[in-house]
Amino acid sequence: MCNDMAHGLGSNPANTKGRRALVRALKERSQTELSRQIGVSQPTISYWASGERRPDPIWRRQLSKHLGIPETDWMTREEFVGERASN
């Protein structure tokens, strides 16, 4: 199921560990292949990889499973610090 609403806009999402892992993974497989595996459109993968948009938490979970990375790798520093403070 494709869901183009899967990407949320963030204030400065460009350089999370998750985005860098996604860019590395796309050297080994196509955006189309990954989009089919995750269940989003190819342009959505492109937006995420470029840092133009960020995946919402449900898509972060899916991407993390496929990329073998922790979900926290998608968080910005501010989000990570905020989550740690609330725990």
Q: Is the pLDDT of residue 30 over 90?
A: yes
- In this predicted structure, what is the pLDDT of residue 2? 42
Take residue 65 and report the two structure tokens written for it.
């499973």
Take residue 49 and report the two structure tokens written for it.
């990889």
Q: What are phi and psi of 55, to 5 degrees?
A: -70, 140
- In this predicted structure, what is the pLDDT of residue 10? 43
Q: What is the CATH number of the domain that holds 69?
A: 1.10.260.40
If one counts the domains in the chain, the total is 1
Domain containing 25 equals 4-86
For residue 87, count other CB atoms closer than 10 A to its CB.
4
Q: Is the pLDDT of residue 76 over 50?
A: yes
Q: What is the pTM of this model?
A: 0.73
Q: Is the pLDDT of residue 4 over 60?
A: no
Of 6, 15, 24, nearest in space to 69 by CA:
24
